[in-house]
Amino acid sequence: MSPELVGILTVGIGLSGLMIGMFAWLRQDVGGRIERLESRSNERIGQLGSRIDQRIDQLEGRTDQRFEQMEARINERIDQLEGRTNEKFDQVSARIAGLERDHQERFASLDRGQTELRERMAKLEGLLEGLREAITGRRAAS
């Protein structure tokens, strides 16, 4: 072999060794970076999951609080409506009771008037009977 060919082969072998070393170093460097990236990604995903869980808990708390406030307002409105309704029923019941008293008084008055009229009719019948007897000359049957 010629010295030039040996030189070229030596340089080729040297370059091959250099390239193999560089590829090994590059592989190790990229592998390490990938592992670090994966580790950081997992860490950030874990932090993000924790933050999301916290936000969901906060949102749930605020939502529960708003529902409780809404329920309190609705119950208050229902109580107000119920109070007004009861008040109206009481007023209507009082009015009905007043009307019933008025009607009972009127019926009692009518009953008294009817009794009075019957008594007058009985007196008139007696007077008419006496008048008839006086006209016919008969005595009243006692």
pLDDT in tens, 10-53: 888 888 888 888 888 878 777 788 888 888 899 999 899 899 99
pLDDT tens track for 82-117:
888 889 999 999 999 999 999 999 999 999 999 999
Burial profile 36-73: b = 16 or more Cβ within 10 angstroms, e = fewer: eeeeeeeeeeeeeeeeeeeeeeeeeeeeeeeeeeeeee
pLDDT at position 51 is 92
